[in-house]
Amino acid sequence: MRKRAGKKSVSSFFSRKSRSVRRGEMQPSIALSTVGVEPPGAPAGTKGAKKKVGPRLWIRFDRTGQSEVTELDKSAIIQRASIPARDLRILGPVFSQSSSIMARERAMVVNLEFIKAIVTADELLLLDPLSHEVLPFVEQLRQHFSLNSPSKVHEPGDSDVLGKKMSSPGIQLLHSENVEGELELPFEFQVLELALEFVCTYLDSSAADLEKNAYPVLDELAMSVSTKNLERVRSLKSNLTQLLARVQKVRDEIEHLLDDNEDMAQLYLTRKQIQDQQFETLMASANSNSIVVAPNLARVNSAARGSASLASFYQDDNTVEDLEMLLEAYFMQLEGTRNKILSVREYIDDTEDYVNIQLDNQRNELIQLQLFLAIASFAISINTLIVGIFSVNIPCPLYNVNHLFTPFVGGTSTGSFFIFLVVLGYARWKKLLGP
């Protein structure tokens, strides 16, 4: 009995140990699966945790031309520009070939070719500033803001007066639009104008390069139809179609804005910001009127009148003349670029028609040659038939006539040639063969 009990205790000890070992081996896999990471022995098709999009590289420009390169994630952009999350997808790689200009409550989302930016009334956020296509646009922004900055416009001796004038927030917003008595566009429209100018210039230069390379290739194809020339024209047509689609997208977006005054009015971010500040000032004045004594009432009313006169430039919400003239100018430029591309495509179509005419002419010449050879074959086959009949090994008295071979062969050949001329004349009479 003692021996059996001892064996049972030893076996139970090893069984408990083996179970603990198995639990220890299973714990890493369970821990890995709970955090969404595949264990080392897991199959390759298992799904792990969703990858979060990390911060992306942006460059920030303010009204004074100060810029900084920073990394911002999705939540930071949404909080900073007050735009919905779906607008950031438009700036992603999925919509890289699309063109759109959308207005939101406090920002404007611009996606024009490779320029992907978020513009507010105070700053510009430009995506991927280190890209080789975006770098020239960044330099253009720096040059523009450096020339239009307040330090470049005013003299150093007027800094005190300028600082007093810029103390009011409304004056600070309007200062960038009113320099030396000349009314300029708001900050967001300056950025939009630079973006449209850069994109339109890029598309126009691409169309000019395409036009420059197209005419020699098409002229060479018209002179010599070969596989090499046809391949070059095919590549040229593919590039032309892609460029025309890009120009058409930008043109359609501008045309869509020009057709809707409400959408253009929503793009006036500075005007909406000044109106919000004016409303807040009036609300603060109304609240102070209920608790301030009568002598201060005139001061509050004068401040309210000053803020109202300050925002008189942006008073009418339906005034979109500045933006309309801006968009119409670049719409006409894109229309000219589009007409240039269409003229190249028409030249390609004309060249293809000319080449097809040449090929049809060659095809007709081959058909005429084939018909000519068929008539000759018909005449020769008649002579061959006569020779074949007389070559049969049968008794015939003509075989015993001397010197009959030469006139017989000459007569049959002459008859075959006469038949050939008759059939050829009939084909020409029916205009089946050329002159």
Let me know if residue 421 belongs to a domain: yes
pLDDT for the residue numbered 203:
94
pLDDT for the residue numbered 250:
93
Let me know if residue 268 belongs to a domain: no
Let me know if residue 126 belongs to a domain: yes
Q: How many separate domains does the chain show?
A: 2
Query: Which residue, of 93, 123, 148, is where some domain finishes?
Result: 148
Query: Which residue, of 113, 130, 148, is where some domain finishes?
Result: 148
The tokens for 153 are 């416009």
Q: Which domain holds residue 95?
A: 53-148
Q: What is the mean pLDDT of residues 389-393?
A: 73
CATH number of the structural domain spanning residue 124: 2.40.128.330
Q: What is the mean pLDDT of residues 382-403?
A: 76
Let me know if residue 57 belongs to a domain: yes
pLDDT for the residue numbered 316:
52
92-127 pLDDT, tens digit per residue, is: 776 666 788 988 888 889 998 889 999 998 889 999
Distances (CA, A) of 175 to 145, 148, 155, 246: 14, 11, 15, 37
More confident: 286 or 211? 211
Q: Judge whether 382 and 419 are in contact, CB under 8 Å.
A: yes
Let me know if residue 111 belongs to a domain: yes
184-196 pLDDT, tens digit per residue, is: 778 889 999 999 9
DSSP 50: P
- Whole-prediction pTM value? 0.67
Let me know if residue 131 belongs to a domain: yes
Query: Which residue, of 148, 165, 193, is where some domain finishes?
Result: 148
Let me know if residue 389 belongs to a domain: yes
**Residue 62 main-chain phi, psi, to 5 deg:** -105, -175
pLDDT for the residue numbered 52:
55
Let me know if residue 11 belongs to a domain: no
The contacts of residue 424 (CB under 8 Å, 6+ apart) are 372, 375, 433
261-295 pLDDT, tens digit per residue, is: 888 888 888 888 888 778 778 887 777 765 544 44
Q: What is the mean pLDDT of the chain?
A: 75
The tokens for 149 are 């900055």
The Cα–Cα gap between 147 and 153 comes to 8
Q: Rank 158-162, 309-313, 416-420 by mean pLDDT and report only the highest.
A: 416-420
pLDDT > 70: percent of the chain = 70
More confident: 435 or 423? 423
The Cα–Cα gap between 265 and 275 comes to 13
- Per-residue b/e over 78-103, b at no fewer than 16 CB within 10 Å? eebbebeeebbebbeeeeeeebbbbb
- pLDDT of 33 > 80? The answer is no
221-244 pLDDT, tens digit per residue, is: 989 888 999 999 999 999 999 999
328-362 pLDDT, tens digit per residue, is: 999 999 999 999 999 999 999 999 999 999 889 88
